A and B are shown apart, each in its own frame.
Chain A
Amino acid sequence: EPEVTQTPSHQVTQMGQEVILRCVPISNHLYFYWYRQILGQKVEFLVSFYNNEISEKSEIFDDQFSVERPDGSNFTLKIRSTKLEDSAMYFCASSEQLAGGGEQYFGPGTRLTVT
């Protein structure tokens, strides 16, 4: 069964450093998403991406964040200058069509720890 993969599973970085989280969505999906979950809090929407541009972004997704689909398979989330409060589990998801009809398939997540 096709699945969304994410690398790395755990990333430790120092405050102020840039990090890139990588995701490989399901191959025939057209819509891509990033969510994050700070420990003990809800899963929060960050951004949706379609046709090589951002469709929607949350207030969290400020100028420090960017997304890119550099090739036909990868979907990346970049944080330019990490802060302590960026420590969280980051989930990538993809869907064949827009939800509500299209379900989103999630990857296992990347745990980002900023020290």
Chain B
Amino acid sequence: AQSVTQLDSHVSVSEGTPVLLRCNYSSSYSPSLFWYVQHPNKGLQLLLKYTSAATLVKGINGFEAEFKKSETSFHLTKPSAHMSDAAEYFCVVIQNVSGGTSYGKLTFGQGTILTVHP
């Protein structure tokens, strides 16, 4: 079975400073990993995904994440925070079982609330 741990429930940064949201995963087989963002009263929006191609993945709005198998991590970063980045962020894993079938079950981390101060 797969699982995800987001190491911080809240992260607070100043506008213009770097953002780091930490995520560790466990998976029996090669996983696909995602970061989703949820702004208030909005649906979950995909930021980026890792699906066994390049280990450094670039997403929307300047976010990127690096898949590190040796550390079982998939941390989300952004060089310079913007006020509009304030939201809740979810690290998500899906396990690609032998034979390539997963039926789409996503496993979520508990979420990290990002606050951006002026």
Contact = CB atoms under 8 A, between A and B. Distances in A.
A108 B40 CA distance: 9
Interface in B83-118: 90, 94, 96, 101-111
B45 A106 contact: yes
Chain A interface size, under 10 / 10 to 19 / 20 to 34 / 35 or more? 20 to 34
B82 interface: no
A18 interface: no
B32 A55 contact: no
A4 B104 contact: no
Contacts, number: 70
Nearest to B101: A98
Interface stretch (A37-45, A63-71, A80-88): A37-45
Given A43-B108, A48-B105, A56-B105, A106 B94 contact: no
Interface of B: 31-32, 34, 36, 41-46, 49, 51, 90, 94, 96, 101-111
Interface in A1-58: 3-4, 31, 33, 35, 41-45, 48, 55-56, 58
Given A35-B106, A55-B104, A106 B44 contact: yes
A101 interface: yes
A31 B94 CA distance: 15
Contacts of A99: 32, 94, 102, 104, 106
B2 to A, nearest CB: 11
